[in-house]
Homo-oligomer: A and B are copies of this chain.
Amino acid sequence: MFNYVCPIDDYRFLLADTLRFDREMEDLGREVDADLAVAVLEEAGRMCAERLHPLNRHGDEEGSRLIDGEVVTPSGFADAWRAFAEAGWASLSADPAYGGQGLPFILQLWLDEMLSAANLSFGLFPGLTRGACEAIMAHASDDLKATYLPRMVSGEWTGAMALTESGAGTDLALLKTKAVPAADGSYAVTGQKIFISSGDHDFGGNIVHLVLARLPDAPPGVKGISLFLVPKYLPGAQGNFTVRNGMSVGALEKKMGIHAQPTCVMNYDSATGWLVGKAHRGLAAMFTMMNAERLMVGIQGLGIAGAAYQQAAAYAKDRLQGRSADGGRAPVPIIEHADVRRMLLNIRAFVEGGRALAGWTALQLDRAHHHPDAAERAKADALVALLTPVVKAAFTDLGFESAVQAQQVFGGHGYIREWGMEQYVRDARIAQIYEGTNGVQAMDLVGRKLPLGGGSVVNGFFDLIQADLADHGAVPVAARTAEALDRLRQVTARLQGASVDAAGAAAVDYLRLFALVSMGWMWTRMAVAAGGEDDLHRAKRVVADYYADRVLPQSEGLATAILAGEQAMMALPAEAF
């Protein structure tokens, strides 16, 4: 296994030219510039490369274990967590009111990229903690905020999200966990949850679960779900958190990957909890967590793809097999073979295009929070809502496909554990499933996001792309992206007001088409910004051409398939499957 290298040159390039970071920050009145951002990212990259990446394969082999009812994480994880928190990485983008550093979200997202690249199982701990913090910040009482947020923001304590039950996954209307009010204003929570990432660990400190449950008087369905804060340790008489709450780990899930991550079956047995937000309004509070998480999960796909690319590119330059194309030299590094380049360029076209798009989306999130003009805030917020399912689903699908292609570069050596490539594939797979499967994301895009503002949000986004493409017509990728955008507009018009079945039949192909166009837009911006003759600029122009020539053509078949409609998909009776 080769070292992980922080993609700092690409971050610097994106901040300076493609994303115009300094101007964006000025607009928001924030005192952060690209130089500071690069310095932070460089330091984060060092931590990921030196501290977390070396634990990744070993973490997979050792795994988290359940011993006498307590989770034991792989050796090195607890120390790494403490070092991570002490260096301030847990609080990077958090609200200064609770001890956070309040740095722009783009730095958070790119830190998440590097965390996922270096060690996805580890990266889930801070990721879920941040999601839990956001829900508490947005919906909990001031008491709960004051008690829990500072220690969660600092990383002394961690968070977990307890939503899924064995019979209630995508469909939370079916969940059965109960919460009964007690005289002191707390609740007794009882039920079993499954697939709970970071549900328990041995890092020390409290573990704050946000649990979806039903009150006794709850109406049926999703309108009867409430959210509760249920800590592993309750405050004792001295105010220190030493009293074990009525919750325990029933088992660790045996999973395909992310073995180091303790994914728990959690049993709550009259566990004490406090309501977060209003009764029966838990779903809204949960979506505060989920939306933040979904962007982060998309970035997990990007991170693993980037790490897998680095490994595969290094291997391809090192491994000697076969003859040069002119027949004159043998053996040659396999990087000389066109098909090996194809696999690497597919990954790279996604990683760099995706990294730019993630950065752009993160800047919109900063605008949504900090822009002085309320209309600008609302506009940015709507764009983030539009792009969240795209980033989550397309990036995790492409992340998995990238890991598979990087593994393929290694041939048989990719299938054995030694090189770590098969771990990338196993780890990347989960991101397509959790936080709402990618099918659910696609339905969210088509069913909820296209109708936003009566279609004005999506059309506004397309107009923005089109204006940029018109400005930059000189680069080849602009023309190809414009063609693909035409196709996307055509199918978008068809899907406005489509039936549930028609939307469902189109959704996954539509989301992919949407992502292809969005990344084509970013490749256009990058190709234009890369006008110089240094290696990075030259490479950007070549990969932009590759994206235009070899990736964007997929838009043709996707559009045709979508326009074919749902008829053949819905014609078979269920029993004929």
Interface status of A426 (Cβ within 8 A of chain B): yes
B422 lies within 8 A of A344 (CB): no
Binds B, one of A183-191, A268-276, A334-342: A334-342
Stretch with Cβ within 8 A of B (4 or more), from A13-21, A23-31, A92-100, A170-178: A170-178
| CA distance in complex: A560, B487 (Å) | 15
Counting CB contacts under 8 A, is A110 at the interface? no
Query: A496-514 CB contact bits vs B (8 Å, 1 = yes)?
Result: 0001111111011000000
Q: Are A550 and B576 in contact, CB atoms less than 8 angstroms apart?
A: no
Q: Please state if A553 and B560 are interface contacts (CB–CB under 8 Å).
A: yes
Binding site of A, secondary structure by majority: helix, strand, loop or mixed?
A: helix
Interface members, chain A 362-397 (any B CB < 8 Å): none
- Which residues from chain B contact A232 at a C-beta distance below 8 Å? none
A317 interface contact, C-beta 8 A = yes
In the bound complex, do residue B568 and residue A542 qualify as a contact, i.e. CB atoms below 8 Å apart? Answer: yes
Decide yes or no whether A255 CB sits under 8 A from chain B: yes
A164 at the interface (CB under 8 A from B): yes
Encode A524-538 as 1/0 by CB contact (under 8 A) with B.
000000000001001
Q: Is A330 an interface residue (CB 8 A)?
A: yes
Chain B residues within 8 Å of A171, by CB: 320-322, 330-331
Is the CB–CB distance between A545 and B570 below 8 Å?
A: no
Please name all residues of chain B whose beta carbon is closer than 8 Å to the beta carbon of A576 when the two chains form the complex. Answer: 535, 538-539, 542
Which of A147-155, A198-206, A352-360, A428-436 lies at the binding interface?
A428-436
Q: Does A169 contact B (CB under 8 A)?
A: yes
B-side contacts of A330, CB under 8 Å: 171, 173, 221
Name which of A331, A548, A551 has the most chain B CB atoms within 10 A of its CB.
A331
Interface membership of A33, Cβ < 8 A: no
A21 CA to B167 CA, complexed, in Å? 47
Name, among A325, A412, A426, A567, the residue most crowded by chain B CB atoms within 10 Å (CB to CB).
A412
Closest to A172 in B: B321
Quote the shortest CB–CB distance from A109 to chain B (angstroms): 24
Q: Does A437 contact B (CB under 8 A)?
A: yes
The CA-CA distance from A539 to B576 in the complex, in Å, is 7
Distance between Cα atoms of A438 and B404 in the complex (Å): 13
Partner of A170, one of B164, B257, B322, B550: B322
Contact A255 B417, beta carbon cutoff 8 Å: yes
Give the residues in chain B near A255, CB-CB below 8 Å: 415-417, 422
The distance in angstroms between the C-alpha atoms of A327 and B550, with both chains bound, is 41
Partner of A338, one of B257, B408, B417, B505: B505
The CA-CA distance from A437 to B256 in the complex, in Å, is: 24
The 8 Å CB contact of A560, one of B343, B418, B543, B556, is B556
Q: Which of B221, B339, B443 contacts A442 (CB 8 A)?
A: B339
Measured in the bound complex, the distance between the Cα atoms of B564 and A345 in whole Å is: 15
From B169, B348, B543, contact of A411 by CB (8 A):
B169
Q: Chain B's nearest CB lies how many Å from the CB of A377?
A: 33
Q: Choose among A414, A548, A568, A572 the residue with the greatest number of B CB atoms under 10 Å from its CB.
A: A568
With most chain B CB atoms within 10 A of its CB, the pick from A164, A430, A439 is: A439
* Residues of chain B within 8 A of A571, CB atoms compared: 542, 545
**Chain B CB within 8 A of A219 CB:** no
**Which residues of chain B are near A320, meaning CB under 8 Å?**
167, 171, 174
Contacts of A549 in B (CB 8 A): 561, 564-565, 567-568
Q: A339-B504, A439-B339, A550-B561 are in contact. Are A412 and B569 (CB under 8 A)?
A: no
Q: Which residues of B contact A577 (CB under 8 A)?
A: 313, 316-317, 335, 341, 344, 348
CA A101 to CA B535, docked complex, whole Å: 64
A402 interface residue per 8 A CB criterion: no
The residue of chain B having its C-beta at the shortest distance from the C-beta of A423 within the complex is B256
**Interfacial chain B residues near A438, Cβ < 8 Å:** 408
When distances are taken between beta carbons in the complex, the residues of chain B under 8 Å from A554 are 554, 557, 561
Q: A143 at interface (Cβ–Cβ under 8 A)?
A: no
In A443-490, the 8 Å CB interface with B consists of 443
When A169-B321, A539-B572 are in contact, do A195 and B412 touch as well, CB less than 8 Å?
yes
4 A-B pairs closest in CB distance: A338-B504, A549-B564, A256-B422, A553-B560
Chosen A-B contacts, 6 in total, with CB atoms closer than 8 Å, are: A254-B416, A256-B426, A317-B577, A338-B504, A339-B443, A341-B572
